[in-house]
């Protein structure tokens, strides 16, 4: 891109109006006094390839990808990072100066950094992690936990076959637990993660019994609407360390922003406030 072109970035999904990413990146652009814009784009699956082809010609340096395109977008990439390959999905695309499209996944990074920042005493190696759900977010969380050295992952999903697919892919440190037994696996877990949409505003509640939660567990929910889910409220009452899901959204955006705009942004209270506006 020529020096005098204003760098553009954005987020592609469908629907997209609810996305907090424009507020977040807009806040950082303003805070660091950078030229640039970040735009939400509602794009159907049928038009995805055509849009990705056009964006660099319009001055785009990169885009975030969200539901339902995270898997599909891999087909259009020239370069795919090891992380994105392992997770089987991409959330960050960069249009490189050489014309190649690079696909990466920063969800696992965002998950890990959120826990590191908001539960500073968290020790991933202290005991098993209990993971609820087996979708795309679970894949990123599992890859991140295994990479960090978790001794075991107890994985439970309403549809058992999806959990078993992740077990066969990620290996022997994963043990699949029946959904009706999900409450029991909390008794062993020092890290507990809800990667499902259960408990989100407008979605069914998470009905897993929580009385088995350990006081020394770190409990996090990837749902951030509401910020304090039923899972986090109950865990807090039981004396657990709790971390809400907003921080994962903020932290996963850091590597992308740095790649596109050349400055590594900080996730602080002002960043959180900007995303919640």
Residues of the chain with pLDDT under 70: 1-3
Report the alpha-carbon distance of residue 10 to residue 259 in Å, rounded: 13
Query: Does the annotation mark 70 as catalytic?
Result: yes
- Choose, from 20, 30, 57, 70, the residue flagged as catalytic: 70
DSSP string, 201-268: TTS-------TT--TT-EEEES--SSSS-HHHHHHHHTT-EEE-THHHHHHHHHHHHHHHHS------
Assigned token pair, 50: 């055509």
Q: What is the pLDDT of residue 3?
A: 65
In tens, the pLDDT along 180-234 reads 999 999 999 999 999 999 999 999 999 999 999 999 999 999 999 999 999 999 9
CA end-to-end distance (rounded Å), the chain: 32
Q: What is the pLDDT of residue 198?
A: 97
Q: What is the pLDDT of residue 4?
A: 80
Question: 135 and 170 in contact (C-beta within 8 Å)?
Answer: no
């Amino acid at each position: 891109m020529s020096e005098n072109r204003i760098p553009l970035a954005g987020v592609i999904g469908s629907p997209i109006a609810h996305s907090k990413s424009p507020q977040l990146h807009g806040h950082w652009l303003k805070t660091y006094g950078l030229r640039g814009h970040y735009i939400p784009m509602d794009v159907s699956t049928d038009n995805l390839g055509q849009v990705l082809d056009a964006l660099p010609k319009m001055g785009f340096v990169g885009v975030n990808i969200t539901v339902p395109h995270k898997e599909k977008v891999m087909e259009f990439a020239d370069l795919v990072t090891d992380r994105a390959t392992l997770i089987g999905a991409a959330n960050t695309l960069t249009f490189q100066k050489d014309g190649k499209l690079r696909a990466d996944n920063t969800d696992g990074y965002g998950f890990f950094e959120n826990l590191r920042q908001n539960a500073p005493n968290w020790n991933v190696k202290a005991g098993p992690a209990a993971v609820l759900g087996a979708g795309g977010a679970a894949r990123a969380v599992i890859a991140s936990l295994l990479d960090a050295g978790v001794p075991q992952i107890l994985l439970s999903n309403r549809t058992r076959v999806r959990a078993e697919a992740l077990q066969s892919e990620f290996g022997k440190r994963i043990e699949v637990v029946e959904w009706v037994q999900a409450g029991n696996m909390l008794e062993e877990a020092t890290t507990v993660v809800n990667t499902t949409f259960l408990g989100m505003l407008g979605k069914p509640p998470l009905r897993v019994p929580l009385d088995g939660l350990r006081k020394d567990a770190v409990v996090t929910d990837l749902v951030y609407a509401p910020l304090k889910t039923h899972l986090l409220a109950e865990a807090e009452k039981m004396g657990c360390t709790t971390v809400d899901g907003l921080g994962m959204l903020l932290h996963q955006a850091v590597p992308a922003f740095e790649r596109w705009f050349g400055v590594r942004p900080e996730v602080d209270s002002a960043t959180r406030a900007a995303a919640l506006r």
